[in-house]
Amino acid sequence: MDFAFTREQLMFKKEVIRFAKKEIVPRVQEHDLKEAFDFESFRKMGEFGLLGLHFPTEYGGEGADVVTTVLAGEALGEAGVDGGLTLAYGAHTFLCADTLFRNGSEEQRRKYIPKLASGEWIGCMGLSEPDAGSDVASMTTTAEKRGGSYVLNGTKMWITNGPIADVAVVYAKTDPDQAHAGISAFIVEKGTPGFTPGRPLIKMGVRTSQTSELVFSNCEIPAENLLGNEGEGFLYAMQTVEWDRSALLAPFVGVTNYMLKKCSDYAKGRVQFGRPIGKFQAIKHKLADMRIFGEAARTLVYRIAWCKDQGRPLNHLEAAIAKLYIGDWSLAVTNDAVTLHGGYGYTHEFDVERIFRDTRLAPIGGGTSEIQKMIISKLI
Amino acid sequence: MNFDFTDEEKNFFSEIEKTMETVAENRNFESGDLDTVRGNLVEALTALASSGYLKLGLNAEDAPVTGTLPLMAAMEQLSGISPSLFLAVEMSTRMFGQVAALGQEAGKGTDILSALAAGKTMGAVALSEQSVNVENDPLTTTATREGDELLVNGTKSLVINGPLADWFAVVGMLDEKAAVFLIDKKTPGLKLTDRQRTMGYDGVAISGLELDGCRVPADRVLGPFDAAPFLEQLKLWENQILIASSLGLMQASYETARDYAKQHRSGGKPIIAYQEVGFKLSEMLTLYQTARLYAYRAAWIADENPKEAGVLTLCAKVFCTESAEVVAGKSLQIQSKDGYLAGGKAERSYRCAKYGQIAGVSTEIARVKIGDAALGRL
């Protein structure tokens, strides 16, 4: 057993941090305040190779392994990139592009992956609905086969990148009488008649990611836009869980390091009662808890990434444990970070308040903590 | 990066588990008078010696596996069998053994180490005095030179295996530095107090020690060492044992609760079907599994990057020992009145768990040290 990264991986991590600090982080606060998506940073991430890191080079990717890809996510968090942008990246690369790559035909891969890997196009995944969140199999969006087309009707909700996506992987029922086995996956491009992305929702956190409904009203798409086979959509959606439990959680590991540094710096500089507040045990205690959480989160995430690199089937128990732990336990440390900063922590002057708001999504998005507990208790 | 053990390591861990399960069939390791506890330990040490388990971490050339990480995983097997047996074995073999091994290069204590690895002798480390926090409160046990011998005087408390040990590694001050005095139990001037009863670990023999002019030959003196780094090293070894102990407590707590929840019925169904119970089990397993990975990584870094090992071991120690109490508490809750009855694994684990947070480096001091590491130079 060996927890070491390779030298190349560590060097790559440093490069990503350097890139992010220079090209992305200076604009984070501004975009968070304006609730605006940072297109410029996203494109730069594409140019740097981040958006297609794990895709083969012949599709415009970098051919990186899973651990390296996950490490890039950690690096973004550690650099100070906000949760909104890392969420947008995660949804684009892992929920949309990867699903397309893994299950699409060669023609579909050639058509979409290079554009998605470069960031020329932005992708999203439409799975959840207003009345089908945790219980996704109860979705009511339908896809009716009519000759050489499918006609989609329904509404998707909570779709990251929804308002700005050029292409969406959309899940709909080709057999409404079935539950999971009735779900199929489709590729829908922006501008398709009958497809209307909703207006961006105003959210508590991850504000730089644009989230909306996707509305389908007799939206007709060519039959060749079916992704994979009919009735296998749910399986494709569940395949994204591996990424959800590693690459999409990795920024939380990184942001914990970032927060620890910020909090330490503040604790050293802020003087009260004649001494830096870092001298008080209560403050050291909070810093310690941040470190303790971060180290725990790190091993959970990389175990999943490493197993994926070995080609092992997803261990659903380990995946649920990782999501549950990071989702629930991250709240306490971000809360501590705000408290440590006192009044300043409650303002936009320091980014701990943004991190606190962003992190609140952790036990909700990608499968709530309650769902993880349900999964775990069923598996034991 | 590799999250698997080798086949050789897995086979060894399995052998430890099977060996000790057989020994445990015929004995209750969690209670007893001194004769019973002694008998338990002797049988366990004999069984463990044959597998090579007692050689781990002691620089033995023929140890079945090498490295702190496989040692942690091997300790985990034993801690899952019995918390009391584990603590007694490890404080003798690993804690006393690693201390005694400090004299190996100088040829000191090799006879003791051989007997230890063969399961033929028991050791105890006498460190705590009025306070467990020996870093803040200076040691008052001292030695003065008298010809070729040292005269040792002092009082020690909470000596695990005290009443049973053949050898004591007494930590005290010599020439204003820390030293270890290897003292045979029959040495004149060495007196044990009555057995000290504790909240948990009912099957461990614990006592205090009084040293009144104990004569120790020079070849039984290790050091002197600079006090701060030496005490830090001792605490690291103790923390590693407490981490492994916590894993065993969590295993016992989780498994009994899970099995209970699947069998015990209420309202016409097994109670695991209720979210209040199922969700608690999920939380318990989450902490337990995370703790295991944490323990392995902390053990790994002890060999990979000793500079980082101190802080990461403290992180693991806080996480694992506090999780052990939470997991045991939830286990009790799930098992309701059955859990609250004396003798069950959950209530035993709950009583034992608190020790892990107090001993070694306490969780309070650990957090201060981890915080200081984050702050760097303040």
- Give the CATH number for residue A38: 1.10.540.10
Taking CA–CA distances from A328, the nearest residue in chain B reads B283
**Residue B375 sits at the chain A interface (C-beta within 8 Å):** yes
Report the pLDDT value the prediction gives residue A242, as an integer from 0 to 100. Answer: 80
Whether residue B238 sits in one domain with residue B136: no
Report the pLDDT value the prediction gives residue B27, as an integer from 0 to 100. Answer: 86
Are A3 and B300 a contacting pair at CB < 8 A? yes
Whether residue B178 sits in one domain with residue B130: yes
Are A373 and B301 a contacting pair at CB < 8 A? no
Whether residue B252 sits in one domain with residue B139: no
- On the 0-12 / 13-18 / 19+ scale of CB atoms within 10 A, B178 is buried
**Residue B267 sits at the chain A interface (C-beta within 8 Å):** no
**Closest CA of chain B from A301, distance in Å:** 11
Q: Retrieve residue B284's tokens.
A: 């318990």
Whether residue A368 sits in one domain with residue A252: yes
Total number of domains constituting chain B? 3
Domain C-terminal end among A76, A91, A122: A122
Q: Retrieve residue B47's tokens.
A: 């069984």
Are B316 and A295 a contacting pair at CB < 8 A? yes
Name the nearest CA neighbour of B353 among B208, B251, B282, B257: B251
Report the pLDDT value the prediction gives residue B59, as an integer from 0 to 100. Answer: 82
Report the pLDDT value the prediction gives residue A245, as an integer from 0 to 100. Answer: 82
Q: Which residues in chain A are contacts of B290 at CB distance < 8 A? A: 296, 299-300, 321, 325
Whether residue A151 sits in one domain with residue A72: no
Whether residue B181 sits in one domain with residue B131: yes
Taking CA–CA distances from B72, the nearest residue in chain A reads A1
**Residue B289 sits at the chain A interface (C-beta within 8 Å):** yes
Confidence tier at A9 by pLDDT (50, 70, 90): very high
Q: What is the CA radius of gyration of chain A?
A: 21
Is A87 domain-assigned? yes
Q: Span A47-66, mean pLDDT? A: 97
| Residue type at B214 in one-letter notation | C
Are A285 and B367 a contacting pair at CB < 8 A? yes
Q: Contact B270/B334 with Cβ under 8 angstroms?
A: no
Report the pLDDT value the prediction gives residue A170, as an integer from 0 to 100. Answer: 98
**Residue B283 sits at the chain A interface (C-beta within 8 Å):** yes
Whether residue B312 sits in one domain with residue B173: no
Is B1 domain-assigned? no
Comparing CB atoms, the residue among B69, B258, B319 nearest residue A1 is: B69
Taking CA–CA distances from B4, the nearest residue in chain A reads A1
Q: Retrieve residue B23's tokens.
A: 């020994």
Comparing CB atoms, the residue among B287, B296, B376 nearest residue A1 is: B296
Are B3 and A1 a contacting pair at CB < 8 A? yes
Report the pLDDT value the prediction gives residue B378, as an integer from 0 to 100. Answer: 59
Examine the pLDDT at B71 and tell me if it is beyond 70: yes
Report the pLDDT value the prediction gives residue A134, as an integer from 0 to 100. Answer: 85
Is B127 domain-assigned? yes
Q: Report the mean per-residue pLDDT for chain B.
A: 94
Report the pLDDT value the prediction gives residue B136, as an integer from 0 to 100. Answer: 75
Whether residue B335 sits in one domain with residue B246: yes
Three-class DSSP category at A275: strand
**Closest CA of chain B from A337, distance in Å:** 13
Whether residue A373 sits in one domain with residue A266: yes
Cα–Cα distance measured from residue A274 to residue B176, given in angstroms and rounded to the nearest whole number: 35
Q: Give per-residue pLDDT as tens, A100-128.
A: 999 999 999 999 999 999 999 999 999 99
Interface test with A, best of B4, B272, B285, B320 (most A CBs within 10 A): B285
Domain that holds residue B255: 228-375
Are A287 and B300 a contacting pair at CB < 8 A? no
Interacting residues of B282 by C-beta distance below 8 A, sequence separation 6+: A320, A324, A372, A373, A374, A376, A377, A380
Report the pLDDT value the prediction gives residue A314, as an integer from 0 to 100. Answer: 86
pTM given for the model: 0.94
**Residue B4 sits at the chain A interface (C-beta within 8 Å):** yes
Backbone angles phi, psi at B214, to 5 degrees: -70, 130
Domain C-terminal end among B171, B199, B226: B226
Is B192 domain-assigned? yes
Cα–Cα distance measured from residue A224 to residue A160, given in angstroms and rounded to the nearest whole number: 25
Is B152 domain-assigned? yes
Whether residue B186 sits in one domain with residue B238: no
Are B1 and A3 a contacting pair at CB < 8 A? yes
Whether residue B188 sits in one domain with residue B127: yes
Comparing CB atoms, the residue among A264, A300, A378 nearest residue B293 is: A300
Is A239 domain-assigned? no
Confidence tier at B343 by pLDDT (50, 70, 90): confident
Comparing CB atoms, the residue among A278, A288, A307 nearest residue B3 is: A307
Confidence tier at B377 by pLDDT (50, 70, 90): low
Residue B348 is part of a domain; what is its CATH number? 1.20.140.10
Confidence tier at B130 by pLDDT (50, 70, 90): confident
Domain C-terminal end among B95, B117, B139: B117
DSSP state of A56: -
Q: Span B118-122, mean pLDDT? A: 95
Whether residue A358 sits in one domain with residue A252: yes
- What end-to-end distance do the CA atoms of chain B give, in Å? 34
Q: Give per-residue pLDDT as tens, A258-282.
A: 999 999 999 999 999 999 999 999 9
Predicted ipTM of the assembly: 0.93
Are A4 and B373 a contacting pair at CB < 8 A? no
Whether residue B139 sits in one domain with residue B107: no
Examine the pLDDT at B122 and tell me if it is beyond 80: yes
Q: Which residues in chain B are contacts of A268 at CB distance < 8 A? A: 375, 378
Residue with token string 């990264």 = A5
Q: Retrieve residue B19's tokens.
A: 């060996």
Whether residue B158 sits in one domain with residue B97: no
Total number of domains constituting chain A? 3
Q: Which residues in chain B are contacts of A308 at CB distance < 8 A? A: none
| Residue type at B330 in one-letter notation | K
Q: Which residues in chain A are contacts of B315 at CB distance < 8 A? A: 288, 291-292, 295
Interface test with B, best of A2, A253, A268, A377 (most B CBs within 10 A): A377
Whether residue B319 sits in one domain with residue B201: no
Is B2 domain-assigned? no
User: Hey, how many other C-beta atoms are within 10 angstroms of the C-beta on A193?
Assistant: 10
Are A288 and B366 a contacting pair at CB < 8 A? yes
Are A291 and B311 a contacting pair at CB < 8 A? yes
Q: Retrieve residue A373's tokens.
A: 């507990």
Q: Give per-residue pLDDT as tens, A342-368.
A: 999 999 989 999 999 999 999 999 899
Is A168 domain-assigned? yes
Q: Span A210-229, mean pLDDT? A: 97
Domain C-terminal end among A122, A156, A191: A122
Are A318 and B289 a contacting pair at CB < 8 A? yes
Whether residue A113 sits in one domain with residue A13: yes
Domain C-terminal end among A234, A261, A289: A234
Q: Give per-residue pLDDT as tens, B72-106.
A: 999 999 999 999 999 999 999 999 999 999 998 88
Q: Which residues in chain B are contacts of A320 at CB distance < 8 A? A: 282
Taking CA–CA distances from A276, the nearest residue in chain B reads B378
Are A299 and B286 a contacting pair at CB < 8 A? no
Q: Report the mean per-residue pLDDT for chain A.
A: 96
Number of H helices, E strands in chain A: 14, 10
| Angstrom distances, CA of residue B182 to CA of B45, B106, B123, B189, B205 | 21, 14, 10, 14, 20
Are A3 and B281 a contacting pair at CB < 8 A? no
Taking CA–CA distances from B287, the nearest residue in chain A reads A325
**Residue B308 sits at the chain A interface (C-beta within 8 Å):** no
Whether residue A349 sits in one domain with residue A266: yes
Q: Give per-residue pLDDT as tens, A142-155.
A: 999 999 999 999 99
Whether residue B146 sits in one domain with residue B93: no
Examine the pLDDT at A313 and tell me if it is beyond 90: no
Residue B132 is part of a domain; what is its CATH number? 2.40.110.10
Give the residues across from A272 on adjacent strands.
A275
Domain that holds residue A135: 124-234
**Closest CA of chain A from B96, distance in Å:** 27
Is A1 domain-assigned? no
